[in-house]
Structure 1
């Protein structure tokens, strides 16, 4: 049986400064699948969400994040198609659901709370968060789409000012997360142990820390339902905390091996009985 794979590019508005890199990883995966004899096609998220689709899709490689494309993706999945990533997994990476998902996974993350931007700051919701020790205030729906979507605050007054700014911009919820101190490490993975890379901003990471980070990230990706994923962690000594988790990043620093791993995962999923 010959398979058909459909790739869906991420919306430009959800890909600030990374439109080309996001497209490049998807194109690379499709090229790997084409070498395996799979018929491939690619389209933009707007057309996909509008229902302008080929007759059949066996697997959808979806980088889209908007409401209508995700609705269309869920419908196609219900029809029997495999998805990397699924509509539910992508939605789980919206920050309002991500926090609970990481908590369920039991992975190390800084304490934080989701708050309404247009309401008075409720100290009960911030139990365990020390505003005076420094926090990051992040938009509570999507990942950061601009520089002002994640802001640092060192006291309650600054938090309230940032929340008011979010409210004026139409952002209804925000995530207030305790600052973690240490080295920033970006990590990238493909589920089922297909691939993992941890890339620090400075010197190398101890192997034990990489293994622990890989285990935690794999548990988190499973809890969120992700196949292609990445994120950020803060490493201090041999301890780390995951501060962000994303569906299908650009993998720009590891594009070649990541594309091959995603393609292998796609082939494995296609081979499963459905």
Structure 2
């Protein structure tokens, strides 16, 4: 009997400027599974959350909204394997991401989750040097608009950004210490299926790539992710992971990533039987 796989597209509101790219990696992965004899079906996140989803042995969700994640958790409880699981997707919300990276023991800047709609309590920022620069990020999801991640150089700027968040209905903010260096994007699939770095300029030394691959795999393990990516700041032979995401668009390595995710999915299906 062949396996059945259900792919769930990301909600457009969680995919600013990347709706087509996010859909493309899911479609490419589903096509790879079909070539392996898996029966495939795709659905949008709203329809998935609203009704009883089709039966599937494997679910490949890019959804991120609370309703879809609640439905996904129920589907997993019924026996389906998910790449990524509802819990691991929720772990990439900023309120849980920082503790997850700390659990993994990977290099990451100091930070603090604070209310955006209350007077700033300086004690909560005691581990940060505001004069050295910090980034104030919305405290739930990743950036959905340019103003969701802003640099601040002092307390007054932090307070102004928090006030803006509060006016927009963003209740919490994550304040992260700025790290000097160049920002590099990376993509991965767990189980050693894929890892790649994508610098804009000078290539990343091989030793740094190996160290980053090890740290990123540890972070993915702590968060429970199978398909993942993120951003790292490199400075000489040192690095700090500043962001980690569930199932990115893999735009620069779409074909290779789709094959790797499909291989990982089939491997996990085999282990579950």
Q: What TM-score do the two structures reach when normalised by structure 2?
A: 0.99
Say whether the 8 Å CA contact 1:86–1:226 is kept in structure 2: yes
Query: How many residues in Structure 1 have an aligned counterpart in Structure 2?
Result: 273
Residue equivalent to 1:39: 39
Within-5 A mapping of 1:20-99: 20-54=20-54, 56-99=55-98
**Mapped partners of 2:24, 2:126: distance in 1:** 43
Structure 1 residue 7 and structure 2 residue 7: aligned? yes
**Mapped partners of 1:73, 1:272: distance in 2:** 20
Deviations 1:24-78 (A, max 9, x none): 0000000000000100000100000012422x21000000000110000000000
Q: What TM-score do the two structures reach when normalised by structure 1?
A: 0.98
Residue equivalent to 2:195: 196
**Mapped partners of 1:130, 1:107: distance in 2:** 21
Deviations 1:69-97 (A, max 9, x none): 00000000000000000000000000010
Structure 1 residue 164 and structure 2 residue 163: aligned? yes
Deviations 1:117-153 (A, max 9, x none): 1112112211220011100000000000000000110
1:205 is paired with a residue whose SS is coil
Over 3 Å off, 4+ runs: none
TM-superposed CA distance for 1:8, in Å, is 0.1
Deviations 1:212-251 (A, max 9, x none): 0000000000000000000000000010000000000000
1:90 is paired with a residue whose SS is helix
Residue equivalent to 2:238: 239
Residue equivalent to 1:124: 123
1:125 is paired with a residue whose SS is helix
CA RMSD of aligned residues (A): 0.7
Deviations 1:140-169 (A, max 9, x none): 000000000001100000000000110111
Structure 1 residue 155 and structure 2 residue 141: aligned? no
**Mapped partners of 1:8, 1:161: distance in 2:** 38
2:136 is paired with a residue whose SS is strand
**Mapped partners of 1:107, 1:61: distance in 2:** 27
